[in-house]
Amino acid sequence: MRFRLLHYTSFVPIVSRIIVDPIGLKMCWSMYLFFTYLLLERHCWNGHPLKTWLNLQRAAESCMVLSLSVARVSPWLSPLVWLTMKYPKRPWFVYGLCCCTLFEHNLFGMWCVGGMIMAEYSPEYKKWSLSALRRVVVSMVQLAAMLTAFQTEYHRMVIVVFMVVLKSVHFMPKDDTSMESEWDGQTPTTLSLNIKPHTI
């Protein structure tokens, strides 16, 4: 339960961006949430293998990053970036280039872009609990970088503090790791060892 909450709370600040951003970016954030939801439980679904949903979510993340950059020219143009979803495969260097479009000439911007790339390509763990924690941290770093991109220092501080407060779920019961030894270290990391069908 704790891993799920840690993961889900990373997406809560997106609601604030949907409320305050221009209509074009509202649409982009909403589409990003939808494609992230499709991958949330990391299962084969609707007759398609898991790799399809992984590629689709990667494409959605790249589109969201580019949308934020295009929105600096005109928020109305940002949804047009999502037309590239037709090509869902995103090699690592394409993803890295997309992240670099968020680069700003200040220390915070450099840390954000570097953190996104390093988090995405950090090594996997063979132990389930560490692998689940890695998944939570990677999504948090990526989302924090996107949410704070091109914002004022005050807004960045508010978003970061809000995300940290949402992560304070120490009062929640710990996850059941009694079946951890049965995880093969290869199966895509779910946030619970209780496997169930997709909730859609």
48-58 pLDDT tens trace? 888 888 888 88
Instruction: Map out the domains of the chain as residue ranges.
Output: 2-173
Q: What is the mean pLDDT of residues 177-192?
A: 77
Q: What is the mean pLDDT of residues 144-169?
A: 86
Q: What is the mean pLDDT of residues 134-150?
A: 90
**Ramachandran class of 185: left when φ > 0, alpha when ψ lies in -120 to 50, beta otherwise:** left
- Per-residue pLDDT band for 33 (boundaries 50, 70, 90) equals very high
Phi, psi torsion values for 4, nearest 5 degrees: -65, -45
pTM: 0.84
> What pLDDT score does 164 carry?
85
In the chain the first and final C-alpha atoms are separated, in Å, by: 19
* CA separation for the pair 73, 66 (Å, rounded): 12
* CA separation for the pair 200, 46 (Å, rounded): 10
> What pLDDT score does 98 carry?
75
Whether the pLDDT of residue 199 is over 70: the answer is no
**Ramachandran class of 172: left when φ > 0, alpha when ψ lies in -120 to 50, beta otherwise:** beta
Q: Crossing angle, helix 23-39 and helix 13-20, to 10 degrees?
A: 150
Whether the pLDDT of residue 200 is over 60: the answer is no
> What pLDDT score does 27 carry?
95
* CA separation for the pair 163, 127 (Å, rounded): 26
- Per-residue pLDDT band for 77 (boundaries 50, 70, 90) equals very high
For residue 149, give the amino acid letter.
A
- Give 81's DSSP letter: G
- Per-residue pLDDT band for 22 (boundaries 50, 70, 90) equals very high
- How many other C-beta atoms can be found within 10 angstroms of the C-beta atom of residue 200? 10
CB 79 within 8 Å of CB 28: yes
